[in-house]
Amino acid sequence: MQTIHVNVEESQMDTFLHMLKNLKEDVVKSYSISSTEDAFYDERKQRLTTLREEIHSKKEPLAEFNASIDSLLEELQS
């Protein structure tokens, strides 16, 4: 098996995905989409998702969530 990395402009993503989906099933085993503009996007997204789940389950007090968000915002601005 071989791996290929393709850079696609955001405005052309729908077209590219449409082409991938129309290939024969045995040509492309799997594919994933990631943004190269922000290497830490997935990590931040996971942190926010975890914080949200902890607040809804009452594991994380809202005051601590606010401090976490402030920290995350500072990180995003740097």
What's the pLDDT tens digit per position in 1-37? 777 878 888 888 889 888 888 886 778 777 777 766 6
* Alpha carbon distances (Å) from 77 to 41, 71, 74: 13, 10, 5
Q: Kindly report whether the global pTM for this prediction surpasses the value 0.75.
A: no
Q: Return all residues near 62 (Cβ < 8 A) that are at least 6 apart.
A: 55
- Alpha-carbon separation of residue 40 from 7, 34, 44, 72, 76 (angstroms): 18, 11, 6, 11, 9
Arithmetic mean of pLDDT, 51-67 = 75
Question: In this predicted structure, what is the pLDDT of residue 35?
Answer: 66
Please give the DSSP secondary-structure letter assigned to residue 45: H
Which run of H or E residues covers position 71?
Answer: helix 62-77
Where exactly are the structural domains of the chain?
A: 10-77
